[in-house]
Amino acid sequence: MCSSNIHLIKKQTYVKKKGEAQRSFKMKLLLLLVIMAEVSAKVEDLSGKMFTFPQQTNTAHVRLNPTKQGYNAVTVCHRSFTDLKRDHTIFSLATPSQANSFLIFWHAGRRQIQPHVREVRVEYGGWDYKLNNWHSICTTWDSEKGLVQIWVDGLPSFKKFATSGSITGIIKIILGQDQDTHGGGFDINQSFVGMMTDVHMWDYTLSACEIQNYMGEMNFTPGNVLNWSKLDYEIIGNVLTEKKVEVCH
């Protein structure tokens, strides 16, 4: 084969490989743009706003990015509104070793609010958890005594023992889904459908007075791990940020 033909073949091979590389780059860029379109990350003051979860899915959720990692105590407060008659998750915090590191779960069959701490479930029954009503819920736990307490619409439970020991590892916090694995493993039958607002988290147990102030929507110390007025969050899938529903007089 003459040298001119060899040169032509090499040139054609180079052009072909270059074209394939360009197509591969374009496909990767397109995939990245799709992912960026689906996931919107921001830090925002959500005062007077709420998240709306409009449909039952095993994908749509809000990922909350905490300011601190590792906890010897936790208080989580939130307000939610739903018409779900089935089990659903209200708040899900997972680590690589414990999917239910700090979980707030409503068990419809038993009519129980069930906090989970480091995979240990505590059951609280007898609450008037009405559908189509706003409910303010706070949950506290400290590792030294291992005690859990919940507050629902201004009323406290008695304290129950869950577990001692710190929550450690890379923290992932999700609204709208129950993490059965670290950051995933969602079950459509445990998803949240409804509205949620005023989510705060502290790395200490909030005092009774502070909790009552939160419940009454008065002045309180905002969360130092999650702060609704300075929330670092990402929306994945069909979740809306809307103006909070207000009662007109």
- pLDDT given for residue 4 in this prediction: 58
- DSSP reduced 3-state for 73: strand
List the one residue out of 90, 76, 113, 77 whose CA is nearest residue 174. Answer: 90
List the one residue out of 181, 183, 167, 182 whose CA is nearest residue 63. Answer: 183
- pLDDT given for residue 12 in this prediction: 64
- pLDDT given for residue 42 in this prediction: 80
Contacts of 47 (CB under 8 A, 6+ apart): 228, 229
Cβ atoms 38, 198 nearer than 8 A: no
- Spatial separation of the C-alpha atoms in residues 232 and 100, rounded to whole Å: 22
Burial class of residue 161 (count of CB atoms within 10 Å of its CB; 0-12, 13-18, 19+): exposed
Strand partners, 173: 64, 93
Tokens of 65: 């990015």
A 10 A CB-CB count for 83 gives: 10
Domain 45-243 bears CATH identifier 2.40.37.20: no
- Spatial separation of the C-alpha atoms in residues 43 and 77, rounded to whole Å: 19
pTM of this prediction exceeds 0.75: yes
A 10 A CB-CB count for 35 gives: 10
Which stretches of the chain score pLDDT less than 70? 1-41, 247-249
Q: What is the pLDDT of residues 128-180, one digit of tens each?
A: 899 999 999 999 999 999 999 999 999 999 999 999 999 999 999 999 999 99
Q: How far is CA 193 from CA 7, 89, 121, in A?
A: 65, 10, 23
